[in-house]
A and B are shown apart, each in its own frame.
Chain A
Amino acid sequence: MTAEHHHPAELAPVEARVAAIESVLVEKGIIDPDALDAIVQHFEDNLGPMNGAKVVARAWTDPAYKERLLADGTAAIAELGFEGPQGELMVIVENTPDVHNLVVCTLCSCYPWPTLGLPPKWYKAPAYRSRAVREPRTLLAEMGAVIPADVEIRVWDSSAEARYLVLPMRPDGTADMSEEQLAGIVTRDSMIGVQRL
């Protein structure tokens, strides 16, 4: 990983301090790293992606907003109040009947925190990071998203210069749903591109 491509490697003092506290407590057997993982996982699974879901639902219901979102993701997302670290330089990639988009960060874990929260563990795993590029169709199928052979898969490598968010296709049978109801059916995984709604 290079500092130019991704976030800087040096730690803020408080970040180093928290890491030191964790390592000391784990070493003494006072806390279990797996328990910490479970707690963090809870945040990852239950928090954050609702913001991105609101962005998607707005884009599905407001054509002018969708146009702005595709033209300047960062600004359109900020309209809904979602901005901050790792939320700059947002690029929205739209799924169509012919194209399925998949987001990865091959070198570390660049991820749009304001819209998706913290990245899930698998997103940071070497297997996902390498296979998403090398064999995306196979990987997606293993993750439960079978992409028809005639649909092109485009893989986007997030970095400090661009963080990608997938705009999924609005599912059939949702014409009567309100924007709020639509936000409820948008999942984190669909906005990373490892799931089809």
Chain B
Amino acid sequence: MTAAPLDDESLPRDNGELVFEAPWQARALAIAVALTEELGLPWDTFRLRLMDEIANDPQRPYYESWGAALESMVVDLDLTTPAALDAAAPTERAPL
């Protein structure tokens, strides 16, 4: 893992440390980091979408915007479709 994306100011911080309210948020963050690295994309590919999502709905919880940005990125990159995500969505939380 490279250090660069984690230094980005778009990552959630509290007193300088990354914080999560639930495991899925960490997972969402890890997917964004892994995907940009795997595809060799600049972190801005994700960050700009996140900024847009936050700007579009400033009151929405941070990680909901994060999830929306992640979905918009994978759909625009033709990695999947909203319908495929509908089909793949679990109905119960896997054992943690």
Residues of A within 8 A of B (CB): 1, 9-11, 14-25, 28, 30-32, 35-36, 38-40, 42-44, 47-48, 50, 84-86, 108-109, 113, 117-119, 124
Contacts and interface: CB of A to CB of B under 8 A. Distances in A.
Nearest to B5: A39
Contacts of B20: 43, 113, 117-118
A133 B24 CA distance: 28
Given A21-B85, A24-B79, A30-B38, A16 B91 contact: yes
Interface in B15-67: 17-24, 26-31, 33-35, 38-39, 63-64, 67
Judged by DSSP, the binding face of A is helix
Contacts, number: 125
B27 A24 contact: no
Contacts of A20: 85-86, 88-90
Interface string B59-96: 00001100110110010000110001110111111111
Interface of B: 1, 17-24, 26-31, 33-35, 38-39, 63-64, 67-68, 70-71, 74, 79-80, 84-86, 88-96
Contacts of B19: 47-48
A24 B70 CA distance: 13
Given A22-B31, A109-B96, A15 B22 contact: yes
B7 to A, nearest CB: 13
B17 A50 contact: yes
Nearest to B70: A21
Contacts of B1: 35, 38-39, 42
Contact of A24 (B21, B38, B39, B84): B84
Given A30-B35, A47-B17, A18 B67 contact: yes
Contact of B24 (A19, A24, A47): A19
B38 A31 contact: yes
Contacts of A113: 20-22
